[in-house]
Amino acid sequence: MWKGRFKEEQSDLLKSYGASVHVDWQLYRQDIRGSIAHARALLEAGILTSEEFRQIEAGLLEIRAEIEAGKFEFSQDLEDVHMNIEAELTKRIGAAGAKLHTARSRNDQVALDFRLWLRDACEGLSGGIRSLQVSLVGLAERHKEAIIPGYTHLQRAQPVFFAHHLLAYIEMLDRDASRLADASTRMDACPLGSGAIAGSTILLNREAVARELGFSKVTTNSMDAVADRDFACEVLADIAILGMHISRLSEDVILWSSTEFGFIELSDRHTTGSSLMPQKKNPDIAELARGRTGRLYGNLMSLLTVMKGLPLTYNRDMQEDKEAVFDSVKSASETLAIFAEMFDAASLREDRALAAASDPLLLATDLADRLVEGGVPFRQAHEIVGGLVAVAQETKTPLHKLDATEFAAASPVLTPEIVKATFDLRAALAARGTTGAPSPENIQRELSRWREQLR
């Protein structure tokens, strides 16, 4: 590649240390696609003849087929996927292959390949997110009448429909898909033609190359084009946030499947046992996903740290960009797929969930609302109900079963009729009709909207 300048062979240790083909071989489809588009531009510029272009295109497609069939041998001595493909092409077709790199640097070549790969990856991740959303909608629809306790500080707070809880994660996942779509938009500029740093004196039709590769525009600064890895950092950040959402969902699954909660039943296909304790049924998928989130965070910090002190333009440090990205995309894709499968087979133990949601303390706020409707200022209403809760705790009496005299002494607004109506669980949920609240009508409307949107 640079033997004209150097007189000594590279150290074997340098070859091993500097090689990236064990990682970046995954860019082979994008590399071959970009090379064919570049060759077509060289043809139009008169650098290649029609026969030379035909040889290059046919040779590259033949190499691609061999890689996909597992018959192509990558060499560490050739450093990366780009040189492996180019060297093999030249070996097969001769001088025409040696012309392919005209007006191109590995700097703009890898910038192109990485953008193409990440654009495809974002599309794949978005599909995985949609599949998980569909799975969650399905689980919510199977149990749309089920009620569970909602929690704050991991303490029972207020009752909600199980479907409402799942819909919260569907909203989070939709933001994740939106962020990936935004990232794809910002990487929609073709860097090929930027050369190593300052373009080339051989003028190629960059716009035509961009159109062939599916870009809407070309980059407008050659230095920024080869030095930019913002798009990779952005996707890693998006995946880290996605991982955080899945980790939170994992924590709910882990809690709900415990004996103490007993809300959710995971299938035997998606759980494991213990090597010692025969009774165990463990939610390993959720635990693994929760653990992998740390890797997603670490990959983001790895690339940000690589890039933070680099002067323009390309520096070899940037070779470290791909491993983190490939790992995060693979991990997130696998997690989305297994979670969609897990929730398709999961079910809610509605009796256990309802028993927990029937705790009358979950409707203490509703009791304060009745006082407000009766003209009591909210802060005073809050204090009154707090006092009733204290009495219930001291006497070990369920809140709704306190004597009528206790309610009357607290406030004349709390008549037996109002108290009885307040502690009707389904009526309490039906009353939550504001936009975004968990009334049955709102839940049904949201499930229908998501089902249609995800179709």
pLDDT tens column, 400-451: 999 999 999 999 999 999 999 999 999 999 999 999 999 999 999 999 999 9
- Average pLDDT (252-259) is 98
Marked catalytic residue, from 16, 75, 216, 274: 274
Here the tokens at position 428 are 């309490």
Active-site residue flag, 382: no
So what's the pLDDT on residue 7?
76
So what's the pLDDT on residue 3?
61
Question: Mean pLDDT in the chain?
Answer: 97
- Average pLDDT (279-299) is 97
pLDDT over threshold 70, residue 1: no
So what's the pLDDT on residue 367?
98
Active-site residue flag, 153: yes
pLDDT digits (tens, 9 = 90+) for 150-197: 999 999 999 999 999 999 999 999 999 999 999 999 999 999 999 999
So what's the pLDDT on residue 289?
98
Give the chain's domains with CATH numbers: 12-102 (1.10.275.10), 107-355 (1.20.200.10), 356-453 (1.10.40.30)
So what's the pLDDT on residue 315?
97
pLDDT digits (tens, 9 = 90+) for 30-44: 999 999 999 999 999
